Amino acid sequence: MIRSGVCWRLLEVLVADHHDVVWARSATDDVRVEQTAPVTAAVRELHHRALAVGVTGSGEEVVALLDVVADTLVLAVTRLELQTTVQRHASVDDLTGLLNRRAGLARVQELLDEGRSDDGSALLVVDLDHFKAVNDRFGHLAGDAVLRAIGTACRTATRPGDVACRYGGEEILLLLPDTGQAAAVAATERLRATVAGTPFPEVPGGRGLRVTASIGVRWWQERPVGDGLQSLVAEADAALYAAKAGGRDRVVVHPVTVALPAG
């Protein structure tokens, strides 16, 4: 019997030729295992040995080698799960479930470095209105509950390729790549409406609590030379302050011309 209850199918063990990725199929599902070169090399060698044993070896030798293959892959999966957990704790904000500032800005910079897209991109800075009043009235635990709910709302409102991170305090930064200006404004307005309509059942006494957000948008199709991430954030921030000055709970697009009222 193969240990750990894993019935690895020998002939379905595949090793990528150009990537340190091992694919193995169990009796029930597919498991993708990314490992370092030494582990991949070891599994590749096991694969070659298994093929040889399958041709010339006895049934007992095949079973014994399957045990080794199974144990090696189980170890690889366990190691990958641990690595994934560590990476998640290092890159995700525990409260909102969004990327933390460091990881989020790094990802935004990566996308900026990839160059322009035909449709353009938009950088959003979101700030919750009167958030200090929520903490003062309901307590900091209530404020935490609000941030958790807003984090969920942001994840729901964004696409898989978008970037959303907790920028600081009650501020959230988002990048919408491959998005035209009209689509970016529409998506931002939907996000504003989603925040305004988010309930907070976790907040004691907060049945009627309504939290709104002001959002500044910097959209571009082709960035001017030297217009880096700091400049984009500063311009989105300027639009955000205009939204605050215009009455809050609204979207303003850089360059600041007029604040779009809620709804």
pLDDT for res 118: 78
Q: Which long-range contacts (CB under 8 A, 24 or more apart) does 226-233 make?
A: 228/112, 229/105, 229/108, 229/109, 229/112, 232/112, 232/123, 233/123, 233/125, 233/173
Q: Are residues 80 and 127 in the same domain?
A: no
Q: Tell me, yes or no, whether 135 and 106 share the same domain.
A: yes
pLDDT at 2: 39
Provide the pairing of β-strand 30-34 with 121-128. Answer: unpaired
Instruction: Tell me whether residue 78 is exposed, middle or buried, using C-beta atoms within 10 angstroms of its C-beta: 0 to 12, 13 to 18, 19 or more.
Output: exposed
CA 150, 152, 154, 156 torsion: positive or negative?
negative
- Judged by DSSP in three states, 211 sits in coil
**Residue 261 belongs to a domain:** no
**Confidence (pTM):** 0.67
Summarize the confidence of residues 143-153 as an average pLDDT.
Answer: 94
* Residue predicted with more confidence, 251 or 57: 251
User: pLDDT band at residue 20, thresholds of 50, 70 and 90?
Assistant: very low
Q: How confident is the model at residue 159 (pLDDT cuts 50, 70, 90)?
A: very high
For residue 58, being part of any structural domain is answered with: yes
pLDDT score at 10: 39
Kindly write down the DSSP assignment for every residue of 56-86, as one continuous string: HS-HHHHHHHHHHHHHHHHHHHHHHHHHHHH
Where does a domain end: 91, 119, 145?
91
Q: Looking at 91, 115, 134, which one is the last position of a domain? A: 91
Q: Which residues are catalytic?
A: 170
* pLDDT averaged over every residue in the chain: 77
| Digit-coded pLDDT (tens) for 219-252 | 998 876 667 899 999 999 999 999 999 999 999 9
Whole-angstrom distance, CA of residue 191 vs CA of residue 262? 11
* Domains of the chain: total: 2
- Domain co-membership, 220 together with 113: yes
Give which of 106, 250, 245, 234 is closest to 188, Cα–Cα. 250
Among 91, 117, 148, the domain boundary falls at 91
Q: What's the confidence (pLDDT) of residue 59?
A: 61
- 246: CATH: 3.30.70.270
Q: Is residue 263 part of a domain?
A: no
Supply the range of the domain harboring residue 119.
Answer: 101-254
Domain shared by 142 and 24, yes or no: no
The answer on 140 and 45 residing in a single domain is: no
Q: Tell me how many degrees the CA angle 236-102-155 measures, rounded to the nearest 5.
A: 65
